[in-house]
Amino acid sequence: MSKKIANQNLRVAILGFGTVGSSVARVLAEQKFGGIELTHIYNRNVANKRGHANAKFVPKSVVWTENVDDILNSKVDIVIETIGGLDPIGKWLERALKSGKSVVTANKQLIAYRGAALQKIAQVNNVALVYNAAVAGGVPVIPATLQGLQGDRITRITGILNGTCNFMLSHMEEGADYAEVLKKAQAAGYAEANPSADVDGYDARAKLCILARLALHAELNPDEVPTQSISKVKLVDFLYAQQLNCTIRQISRVETDGTTVRARVAPMLVPKSSPIAWSHGTQNMVVTTGKFGGDVVFSGHGAGGHPTAVAVVSDLLAVAHGTSRVYLPTKKRSVTGEFMAPHYLRFVVKDQPGIVSAIAGALAKVGANINSILQRPGFPKDQLVFVVTTEPCPAPVVEKAMRAIGKLSFIVDTPLSLQIMTEEDKAED
């Protein structure tokens, strides 16, 4: 249960006045929720932040500060954290919880790595730690999982958990190249100047680990979950994917059979018949698969200040109303990325006799069987692009073969391996 203040306003502080924090301030101002009073805003370089377009929505009574102790030592009831990162934020939120302040956060990295420990601190101090906004932006996946699906036994979660990558890949599907769409994503504020957290899968991995803890009751170390970057995907891969009646999306998935937990974040070929393939722009999509309830699909915008701000403010209101949070037992689990799946293998070669037999031999040596060979016309002989698809096999088997193939004399660019989503992976309508 969260602490509930009767017959008085709940005093609220915002840590961070960036994209999300400033949008939260605006939503609070325009919605005018009774019983909620914004009293403090923390940020570095406050003078600059007070010139932000959304600062005009901040009441004049609000205390702006560059010293976080002004908030942690105050009589604030609820701290909203929108800065992100592990340190010093983790220590700040520990102090807030121990001093009797509830915390609302969208910090997926902190919750992925330290959420279980922070939750225990909140329980001991009879306050709330709410982080529904940490996964899928404005899509209420976490509350639905905690309160709407706990009667089921969730065995698998599959989906698109990073709106930035979805924006980029869906634009590449329309004909743009990677460098072009990355610049568009950065200009739109979806991707940072250093886009690694998004494109290399670390952002989605943190969110996947949060969902695994809540839905599968498995506490995973994010560092143990394999990731693959989308940065090696090229426009030509979408052309070949179309021939296979697929598209390409960054897919986050975790599943358990009761003994083994498998998890991975990587670009994958997705059949166009799957609802996951229909997600475009900054949309997130999450499909939960339960033993009794089957597939449940959640979809909505997952990137940008306003969708996330809506989720943050909804969490704030849940705390204000004294909503009880469901606490479920979790267990630390080891994880493997060894999914059994067919693979898409793209090669760029200098044309010469014996290429196909050499590649087939390397795959056969590790026990991987070829399913099809695709070659589009129009490529020069010294930059010939073609694709091999395999029958289902473990990822390490394919990776071993690809390392060997990459050393062959006719290879002129690093080969690309992507898993292909199969029928049993697809969410049905």
Cross-strand bridge partners of residue 348: 385, 413
> For residue 98, is pLDDT > 60?
yes
Segment 99-118 mean pLDDT: 95
> For residue 74, is pLDDT > 60?
yes
Q: What is the pLDDT of residues 308-363, one digit of tens each?
A: 898 899 999 989 988 766 666 788 999 999 999 999 999 999 999 999 999 999 99
**How many H helices and E strands in the chain?**
14, 19
Lay out the sheet containing 384-390: strands in order across: 294-301, 283-290, 154-160, 246-256, 261-271, 411-420, 343-349, 384-390, 370-374
User: Residue 308: its pLDDT value, please?
Assistant: 85
For residues 189 and 390, the model is more confident at: 390
For residues 5 and 79, the model is more confident at: 79
207 among known catalytic residues: yes
> For residue 427, is pLDDT > 60?
no
- 93 pLDDT band, cuts 50/70/90, is very high
> What domains does the chain contain, in order, with CATH numbers?
10-134 (3.40.50.720), 141-301 (3.30.360.10), 340-425 (3.30.70.260)
> For residue 2, is pLDDT > 50?
no
- Please compute, for residue 274, the number of CA atoms within 13 A of its CA located in the half-sphere on the CB side: 29
Structure tokens at 37: 């009073």
* Identified catalytic residue from 49, 101, 108, 207: 207
Structure tokens at 352: 């010469």
User: Residue 53: its pLDDT value, please?
Assistant: 85
> For residue 189, is pLDDT > 90?
no
| First-last CA distance in the chain | 37
Segment 125-151 mean pLDDT: 87
Q: CA-CA distance, 40 to 71, in Å (whole number)?
A: 7
Q: What is the pLDDT of residues 214-229, one digit of tens each?
A: 999 999 999 999 999 9
Token look-up 């067919």 returns 342
| Burial grade of 407 (CB within 10 A; 0-12, 13-18, 19 or more) | exposed
Structure tokens at 216: 């599968």
Q: Point out the least confidently predicted range of 16-20, 97-101, 195-199, 243-247.
A: 16-20
Structure tokens at 350: 């200098």
Segment 258-265 mean pLDDT: 94
Segment 94-109 mean pLDDT: 96
> For residue 401, is pLDDT > 90?
yes
